[in-house]
């Protein structure tokens, strides 16, 4: 940023949030490139309920400073560690073209439209007999899969509370998110504030958190695809055109085969 306008020169992070709790992207957009704005919008805005600010160290996933992590940052070893997944990719017993595809997918090199560069949160709500109550899809911004899943859970719980749903079964297809919410995993520095907010939301009402495979979450994936073509949040009081069959399959409890490693 070459020049910071005088009126925002002394801003703090909290000053970049409007009265409705949204980032002031209209103020920041002329000053920052679009890819940075997209990353900012994916961050949870500061709230008093989050407590006092904490220092976080980027060299450790829990935000803790160590001499070892500082040394790795200086030497660039952290970049090698983050790329270690390629070993697992090339060990897969699949055709060569599949390995190449997974590798390109991992590093964001799939030729596609720009929409797939952003993350999308989506949830749907059913009553106990399977009737559609509502759903939503929201363009979050640019972030990783873990944060995207957390946003989907958080926004979904907020919507459920707004609609007065007091007995909720929360189905999540990310086992990492489920373990974090249940306190069985140490989590990550990046998603800590969202996890705290979700855990606060879970207090005071009957919410059962359950892990499901992605094949059982097709409606949410379909809603996310619809949200890819929009800006902001879209609410669905009735199932949108194109996912009627998926909703019917949910009500009929249609199963989908899944290949698992033995």
pTM for the full model? 0.71
Residue labelled with tokens 């892990």: 211
Per-residue pLDDT tens digits for 146-173: 888 888 888 888 888 888 888 888 888 8
Q: Are 198 and 150 in contact (CB under 8 A)?
A: yes
| For helices 244-252 and 218-227, angle between their N-to-C axes, nearest 10 degrees | 160
59 token code pair: 């060299």
Q: Are 208 and 168 in contact (CB under 8 A)?
A: yes
Share of the chain above pLDDT 90, in %: 0
**H or E stretch covering 91:** none
**Is residue 32 left, alpha or beta, with left meaning phi > 0 and alpha meaning psi from -120 to 50?**
beta
Per-residue pLDDT tens digits for 80-128: 444 556 677 777 888 888 887 877 776 555 554 434 334 445 666 666 6
- Cα 249–chain centre separation: 25
Contacts of 10 (CB under 8 A, 6+ apart): none
Instruction: Check whether 228 has a pLDDT greater than 80.
Output: no
Q: Are 189 and 56 in contact (CB under 8 A)?
A: yes
In angstroms, the CA 32 to CA 69 distance is 30
In angstroms, the CA 61 to CA 89 distance is 23
Closest listed residue to residue 119, CA positions, set 71, 92, 72, 152: 152
In angstroms, the CA 120 to CA 70 distance is 33
Q: Where in the chain is the domain with CATH 3.30.420.10?
A: 115-252
Residue labelled with tokens 């009553």: 127
- Helix (H), strand (E) counts: the chain: 11, 5
Per-residue pLDDT tens digits for 32-81: 888 888 888 888 888 877 777 777 776 666 667 788 878 777 776 545 44
Residue 114 has what pLDDT?
A: 39
- Which CATH class, in words, describes the domain spanning 115-252? alpha beta
């Amino acid at each position: 940023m070459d020049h910071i306008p005088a009126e925002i020169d002394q801003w703090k992070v909290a000053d970049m949030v409007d009265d409705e709790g949204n980032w002031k992207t209209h103020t920041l957009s002329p000053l920052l490139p679009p890819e940075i704005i997209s990353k900012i919008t994916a961050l949870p805005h500061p709230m008093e309920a989050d407590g006092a600010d904490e220092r976080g160290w980027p060299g450790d996933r829990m935000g803790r400073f160590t001499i070892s992590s500082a040394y790795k940052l200086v030497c660039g070893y952290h970049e090698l560690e983050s790329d270690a997944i390629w070993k697992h990719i090339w060990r897969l017993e699949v055709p060569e073209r599949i390995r190449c595809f997974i590798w390109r997918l991992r590093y964001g090199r799939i030729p596609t439209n720009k929409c797939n560069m952003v993350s999308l949160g989506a949830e749907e709500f059913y009553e106990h007999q399977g009737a559609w109550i509502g759903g939503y899809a929201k363009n979050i911004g640019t972030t990783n899969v873990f944060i995207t899943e957390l946003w989907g859970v958080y926004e979904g719980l907020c919507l459920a509370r707004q609609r007065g749903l007091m007995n909720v079964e929360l189905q999540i297809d990310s086992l990492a998110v489920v373990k974090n919410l249940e306190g069985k995993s140490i989590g990550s520095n990046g998603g800590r504030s969202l996890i705290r907010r979700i855990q606060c939301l879970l207090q005071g009402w009957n919410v059962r958190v359950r892990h499901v495979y992605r094949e059982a979450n097709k409606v949410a994936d379909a809603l996310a695809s619809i949200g890819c073509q929009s800006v902001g949040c879209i609410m669905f009081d009735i199932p949108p055109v194109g996912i009627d069959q998926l909703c019917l399959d949910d009500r009929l409890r249609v199963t989908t085969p899944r290949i698992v490693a033995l």
